[in-house]
Chain A
Amino acid sequence: AQRVTQPEKLLSVFKGAPVELKCNYSYSGSPELFWYVQYSRQRLQLLLRHISRESIKGFTADLNKGETSFHLKKPFAQEEDSAMYYCALRFSGTYKYIFGTGTRLKVLA
């Protein structure tokens, strides 16, 4: 079955520490993967997508097809990174997406 798994509900790190939010997927086709972020009292918004291979706000994510993972990383966490992060997969050839259950990141001063 197609699935996106985010194993951590909550991740707490200190400011300046490295961050890695895990995302694993199960999908037999060619996946298109995204990370979305929701800051407090704001709407959900795109952070980055694997096809762009971009770095946004210092975050990067590499698609590892062998491990079926798309982990989100940042070398030095900032307090403003505190938010809810969702990993999402779009089924190839369709408009359908599935989202993971989300990881709340708390960056402590």
Chain B
Amino acid sequence: DVKVTQSSRYLVKRTGEKVFLECVQDMDHENMFWYRQDPGLGLRLIYFSYDVKMKEKGDIPEGYSVSREKKERFSLILESASTNQTSMYLCASTRQEITREQYFGPGTRLTVT
């Protein structure tokens, strides 16, 4: 059973703080993704990674960075949190070729005050 875990379910941070969101998968997946999920906007891709230390920008990378030092872990970093980054953040992973299905984590609801 594929497991994608995220470090926190709920997080409250202040404007200007540096925020780390962690995602870990246990199925040796090559690809990992960070999305934000907002009502009426659906899921929007922030960044994805197809290998260790490799990353590509998604559709809304501004204000975010990522780190992938190990295959199983993909971190999303908000360098200086702002109120418009209040959202649900979803991590996902997938094998490179075989199924192409994305497996999602439970999400982290981040509130920036």
Interfacial residues, chain A to chain B (CB-CB below 8 A): 6, 9, 32, 34, 36, 43-46, 49, 86, 88, 90, 95-102
State whether A43 and B107 are in contact (beta carbons under 8 Å apart), knowing that A9-B40, A99-B42, A102-B42 are contacts in the complex. Answer: yes
Structural contact, A43 and B101, CB atoms closer than 8 A: no
CB distance from B40 to the nearest CB of A (A): 6
Complex Cα distance A44/B43, Å? Answer: 11
Interface pairs (8), CB distance under 8 Å: A34-B101, A95-B94, A97-B33, A98-B45, A100-B42, A101-B40, A101-B42, A102-B43
Structural contact, B94 and A86, CB atoms closer than 8 A: no
Structural contact, A96 and B48, CB atoms closer than 8 A: yes
Known: A44-B104, A95-B33. 5 other contacts (CB 8 A): A32-B100, A43-B104, A97-B33, A101-B42, A102-B43
Q: Which chain A positions have C-beta within 8 A of B104?
A: 43-45
Complex Cα distance A40/B26, Å? Answer: 25
Complex Cα distance A58/B97, Å? Answer: 27
CB distance from A26 to the nearest CB of B (A): 15
Q: Which chain A positions have C-beta within 8 A of B48?
A: 95-96
Structural contact, A97 and B45, CB atoms closer than 8 A: yes
Q: Which chain A positions have C-beta within 8 A of B33?
A: 95, 97
Complex Cα distance A96/B42, Å? Answer: 15
State whether A96 and B45 are in contact (beta carbons under 8 Å apart), knowing that A9-B40, A44-B90, A101-B40 are contacts in the complex. Answer: yes
